[in-house]
Structure 1
């Protein structure tokens, strides 16, 4: 995963994180496995969004 947080002026903080070596989904519980991986991704996104809450934008008029 890659995150670039703008800190003002020409200052950025760059982060790289390994999300997983491999994602294997069990066919008998595929939906549950996908949910767990989505949750893990959302938790990492939340972490960085909290570090720089004004760096995130909707490029679609989501609230209109």
Structure 2
């Protein structure tokens, strides 16, 4: 968010394909989940004020 009605949107390829191996499914899920979290963290650090609310949003 740049103020007013100005936004910037980022797109990136996360993976060509995600394959979960039956013999190591839990480890594969952990790996891909961590990769996703790492990308979210990257963008949250770029603009931290865009990722939280200071008012009772859910009330």
The alignment's TM-score, normalised by the length of structure 1, stands at 0.76
- Name structure 1 gaps, 5 residues minimum: 1-5
Greater relative contact order (CA < 8 Å, ≥ 6 in sequence): 1
| Structure 1 moving runs of 4+ over 6 Å | none
More strand by share: 1
Matched, 1:32 2:30: no
Larger gyration radius, structure 1 or structure 2: 2
**Structure-2-length-normalised TM-score:** 0.82
Aligned partner of 1:46 among 2, 25, 41: 41
Gaps of 5+ in 2: none
Cα RMSD after superposing both structures = 1.8
Q: How many angstroms does 1:40 deviate by?
A: 0.2
